[in-house]
Amino acid sequence: MVPLQLVSAQDPVNCDNGRGNYTTNSTYDNNLNTVLSSFSTHTEVNYGFYNLSHGQNADKVYAVGLCRGDLEPDDCRRRLKDSAFYLKKQCPNQKEAIVWTGDCGVWYSNRSIFGIMETQPTIYLIYLRNVTGSVNEFDQVLSNLMRNLKDKAASGDSRRKYASDKVTTGYTTLYGLVQCMADLTGVQCNDCLEIAISEIPSCCEGRMGGNILKPSCRLRFDPYRFFNETTILDDAVVV
């Protein structure tokens, strides 16, 4: 585990005050509770991506849940349930909110958020260990790794757009991960991740690790292994 003092982080939660509010026990609140609890009951989904809705008209709730590609289904559903509970606690009356954890993300709204690319708001989590050796060499290795992963993730189907790998430089092994909401098109995923990659210099210059978290995609790199082998999807073809 990374010591807390080595991490500079925002709370990875965004409560959107511009999308309207709801009151406790209102129809919207009840619909939100229903859709969030569905993350743990949709056992027919075993690939870590959920897009669910419940309700009608102005009280309809749309929610997306996304797990990292190395989580087993039961573990994924448990993490999503915990994240949804935390998000609702942190954003007790906002109709739209999003949280990213190390393992998953939950995003809900009173508008359709399915199949759209959104790159704001952005949350940065930075590992405060300085690069050793040549910063220029590190930046080039990191850029190559991220763009290779971006291409792999964008080629995924509508169940998963995710890629992780490692690369060894002359002085360290660097681990990287990228992921998009699985209902994005390949072009949308590519564009979202390209924007995130372009922000690495401004958020994480000279640092050995960082997370860039956007509503529709995320990336992470660190000098230690933080993911396991990707879980295997079945052979069904989903586009």
The model's confidence at residue 10, banded by pLDDT at 50, 70 and 90, is low
Greater confidence (163 vs 40) lies with 163
Could you read off the pLDDT of 40-97 as tens digits, one per residue?
A: 888 878 889 999 999 999 999 999 999 999 999 999 999 999 999 999 999 999 999 9
Could you read off the pLDDT of 105-150 as tens digits, one per residue?
A: 999 999 999 999 999 999 999 988 888 878 888 889 999 999 999 9
The stretches of the chain forming alpha helices (DSSP H) are 27-37, 73-90, 135-154, 186-198, 200-204
47 and 94 inside one domain = yes
191 and 140 inside one domain = yes
User: Can you tell me which residue has the tokens 């609890």?
Assistant: 37
Average pLDDT score over the chain: 90
218 and 127 inside one domain = yes
65 and 159 inside one domain = no
105 and 172 inside one domain = no
Domain limit, last residue, from 50, 85, 109: 109
- Domain holding 57, by residue range, is 4-109
> What's the CATH number where 52 sits?
3.30.430.20
Judged against a pLDDT cut of 70, whether residue 16 lies above it is answered with: yes
Torsion angle of C-alpha atoms 65, 214, 221, 143, degrees rounded to 10: 130
Task: Please give the tally of structural domains in the chain.
Answer: 2
Residue 235 in domain? no
Domain limit, last residue, from 53, 74, 109: 109
Question: Residues near 218 by Cβ (< 8 Å), separated by ≥ 6?
Answer: 100, 105, 177, 178, 179, 196, 211, 212
SS3 100: strand
Greater confidence (169 vs 159) lies with 159
Is pTM beyond 0.85? Reply is yes
Residue 231 in domain? no
Q: What is the pLDDT of residue 235?
A: 58
Average pLDDT over residues 166-170: 84
Domain limit, last residue, from 69, 87, 109: 109
153 and 82 inside one domain = no
169 and 214 inside one domain = yes
Residue 234 in domain? no
